[in-house]
Amino acid sequence: MSVSHIKKQATKKRLKGFTITELLIGIAIVGILTAVAAPSLSQLMVQSRVDNEISEIHRLILLARNSAINSGRSVTICPLSGTSCGTNWQNELSVFINNDNTLVNNKVYDSANEELIKIKSKITAGDTLQFNQTVIIFAPTGRVSAGGNSKFSYCPKSDADLSRGIEISLSGRIYASSDTNNDNKDENRDGTAVSCINESS
């Protein structure tokens, strides 16, 4: 094989690659696209997290109500602290069927005699979940005997505008918040914006 033929082959191979200028331009374009898309992607991830939490709480409440109707016993939702209902709704939430239909005993879980139906894991660290009552108890009729006319507010740490909520009526109906005035923020049924500030009953 001649030397000139080898040089031609080497030149052809070099022509197939990128020049340093082309590479730098490509990197610059990728950097610009990332800078433009990153905030939207971050917001989308937060919104997805909030929506998932609200959906899970909604399903948990429906499960408790249906269990009360089907079992003919009161069913409690609360954050258990040991065997008693606590007040930190950001922790795990437990749903259990009560053997005793008195309101006092419905706030205590007796593992020997009562059925624990479901446990919802605690929320993402830094986010806030508030509930303006101490407990939710569904009667066998499906109505709320404790915790009715109440609301959950879920507020992500990074974007308060993406906060969402759930309201529970005395009849046991459940309402998720929605953007009723098209301002890109969810409102409660009374038209107030969902917020985790001053949510006490």
Sequence-ordered list of residues with C-beta below 8 angstroms from that of 132, at least 6 positions apart, any chain: 150, 151, 199, 200, 201
For the stretch 60-93, pLDDT in tens is 999 999 999 999 999 999 999 999 999 999 999 9
Average per-residue pLDDT in the chain? 86
Q: Inform me whether the pLDDT recorded for 200 exceeds 50.
A: no
- Give the strand order in the sheet containing 128-131: 128-131, 150-155, 164-168, 174-176
| pLDDT attached to residue 31 | 80
State the Cα–Cα distance between residues 197 and 39, nearest whole angstrom: 26
| pLDDT attached to residue 104 | 62
Q: Inform me whether the pLDDT recorded for 201 exceeds 70.
A: no
Can you list the domains of the chain with their CATH numbers?
54-176 (3.55.40.10)
The more confident residue out of 32 and 138 is 138
Q: Inform me whether the pLDDT recorded for 147 exceeds 70.
A: yes
Tokens of 28: 């610059």
For the stretch 86-99, pLDDT in tens is 999 999 999 999 88
Please give the model's pTM, rounded to 2 decimal places: 0.77
